[in-house]
Structure 1
């Protein structure tokens, strides 16, 4: 479990990148390719569901990502 993520809710990209240490460019390429979860859009802002990020972390730690 990552200490940088809240237990539930939504996070912005800087928090995501603290939990999953890749560059912004790599992250967005992964989103486009379907490797990483897509954001939820609210106006001009983008958020990621904490549950989706935690699932991704679990997959990556198991070597599936």
Structure 2
């Protein structure tokens, strides 16, 4: 099995705090995309960033493949 230096799995779902980071968490979660929560959600609403997938009635998450593509597109 090949190992990768990326902390993000190949197939998964990411919650918003895993994408934009959370420096107050213990341990701190580094940002994959250097944006604030409001800026990211406004980009999702305008179609600039990928839309989330509804996990259950109260929770949404983003496909890791979509976030990887966004990171490549942004050059972050």
* TM-score, normalization by structure 1: 0.83
Mark the runs of 5 or more structure 2 residues left unpaired by the alignment.
Answer: 21-30
Residue of structure 1 aligned with 2:14, choices 8, 11, 35: 11
Q: How many equivalent residue pairs? A: 62
Comparing both chains, which one has the higher relative contact order based on Cα–Cα distances under 8 Å and sequence gaps of 6 or more? 1
Q: Which has the larger radius of gyration?
A: 2
* TM-score, normalization by structure 2: 0.72
Counterpart CA distance in 2 for 1:50 and 1:26 is 19
Mark the runs of 5 or more structure 1 residues left unpaired by the alignment.
Answer: none
